[in-house]
């Protein structure tokens, strides 16, 4: 009788070495997951930046103006307020052109910038005509009345409010930067983005690295609460970025596995290679 035995100790040792290198404590799988999360967050940060900050600022100003009505009239008699009609219309001023009134009870002509900002975010666009003009014509004299349905404000207050709202530019990109910094504190960005981040914290960022403690199945959960993140455009940016990173991750993993193969071929203990194979930006 002929018997044969197969010595699998070498194979078992190799598989054990690969397993330790890949999913051992602090292994390649955890390092790759963390670094690829950083790279994905940086990719999203770039996509979340406005292409033209000046044009974005102009759109913000236009949107803010759409919630308010300017009432800056130069009256020789002064602006003392002219009372309230029985229907609730408030009369604020009169000049040679109009008697000015508002159906909106709010008066923000002397408001601070943050008050204008908060009113902008909490006020819906007025449906229908925002300004109604009546002309009470007579044979020799006309009385024109201008009634607005928007919140009245002054040019100075509106300018202060626009400035406050424009400070939000960069918050979406900053929310992704905060995640990238949670993975690697050295992650950087232009000042107009980074000033929204303190250390690794952003008021609009969601980052959970606790999944990295599971060495066999490491994970990172992150997201953004910033305006625009959940929009159709924001979702498309996430899908695009994930697709880009997926292809680059495949290439990176091939190089890492190639490193394992070379270690085995050279008869040495399988080493960790994630730190040697940098992810492509």
How much is the pTM?
0.71
Q: DSSP per residue over 133-164, as a string?
A: EEEEE-SS-EEEEEEESSEEE-HHHHHHHHHH
- Paired tokens of 251: 């290439």
Q: Give domain status of residue 93, yes or no.
A: yes
> Who wins on pLDDT, 15 or 201?
201
The boundaries of the domain holding residue 95 are: 58-166
- Paired tokens of 221: 């959960």
* Cα–Cα distance measured from residue 78 to residue 216, given in angstroms and rounded to the nearest whole number: 76
Is 116 found in the same domain as 255?
A: no
Digit-coded pLDDT (tens) for 59-110? 999 999 999 988 765 443 445 456 777 777 888 877 777 888 888 888 898 8
* Contact of 64 with 160, CB cutoff 8 Å: no
Is 240 found in the same domain as 150?
A: no
* Cα–Cα distance measured from residue 196 to residue 198, given in angstroms and rounded to the nearest whole number: 7
Residue 148 has pLDDT above 90, yes or no: no
* Cα–Cα distance measured from residue 213 to residue 217, given in angstroms and rounded to the nearest whole number: 9
Domains held by the chain: number: 2
Q: Give domain status of residue 178, yes or no.
A: yes
- Paired tokens of 176: 């992704």
Is 178 found in the same domain as 148?
A: no
Strands (E), 77-203: 90-94, 99-102, 107-108, 131-137, 142-148, 151-153
């Amino acid at each position: 009788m002929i018997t044969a035995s197969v010595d699998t100790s070498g194979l078992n040792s190799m598989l054990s070495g690969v397993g330790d290198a890949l999913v051992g404590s602090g292994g390649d799988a955890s390092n790759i997951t963390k670094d690829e999360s950083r790279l994905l967050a940086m990719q999203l940060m770039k996509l979340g930046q406005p292409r033209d900050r000046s044009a974005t600022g102009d759109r913000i100003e236009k949107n803010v103006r759409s919630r308010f009505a300017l009432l800056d009239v130069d009256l020789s008699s002064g602006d003392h307020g002219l009372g309230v009609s029985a229907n609730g219309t408030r009369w604020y001023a009169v000049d040679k052109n109009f008697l000015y009134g508002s159906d909106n009870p709010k008066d923000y002509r002397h408001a601070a910038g943050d008050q204008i900002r908060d009113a902008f975010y909490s006020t819906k666009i007025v449906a229908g005509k925002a300004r109604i003009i009546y002309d009470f014509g007579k044979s020799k004299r006309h009385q024109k009345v201008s009634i607005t349905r928007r919140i009245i404000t002054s040019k100075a207050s509106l300018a202060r409010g626009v400035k406050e709202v424009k400070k939000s530019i960069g918050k979406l990109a900053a929310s992704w930067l905060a995640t990238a910094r949670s993975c690697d504190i050295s992650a950087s960005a232009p000042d107009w983005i980074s000033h929204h981040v303190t250390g690794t914290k952003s008021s609009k960022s969601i980052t959970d690295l606790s999944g990295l403690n599971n060495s066999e199945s490491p994970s990172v959960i992150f997201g953004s609460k910033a305006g625009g993140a959940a929009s159709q455009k924001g979702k498309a940016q996430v899908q695009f970025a994930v697709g880009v990173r997926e292809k680059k991750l495949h290439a990176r993993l091939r190089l890492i596995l190639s490193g394992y193969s070379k270690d085995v071929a050279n008869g040495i203990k399988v080493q960790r290679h994630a730190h040697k194979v940098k992810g492509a930006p």
